[in-house]
Amino acid sequence: MLQAAIDPNVGQSVLTAMKKEVERLQLKHDGLLLERKKLIAGLESRIDNRKTISIRVEVQIKITYKSLFD
């Protein structure tokens, strides 16, 4: 029993499996962070596009309104 407690090879397979699992989870986490970054950039782009369209519509309404009443 004491020999097993000081043997560095005891539990190596468990340690190796745990290290592989940690690495796999880290890669998955990094991938999720990248995906989140891309989604946020896409949303920001759509918001900017919507603002541009809104401004164009407002200008067009003002031009139309002005031409009707001038």
Q: Give 11's pLDDT tier (boundaries 50, 70, 90).
A: confident
Between CA 60 and CA 70 the distance in angstroms is 15
Distant-in-sequence contacts of 35-41, Cβ < 8 A, 24+ apart: none
For residue 34, what pLDDT is reported? 98
The model's pTM: 0.65
What residues does each domain of the chain span? 14-69
pLDDT at 19: 97
Q: Is the pLDDT of residue 6 over 80?
A: no
Q: What tens digit of pLDDT does each residue of 18-48 get?
A: 999 999 999 999 999 999 999 999 999 999 9
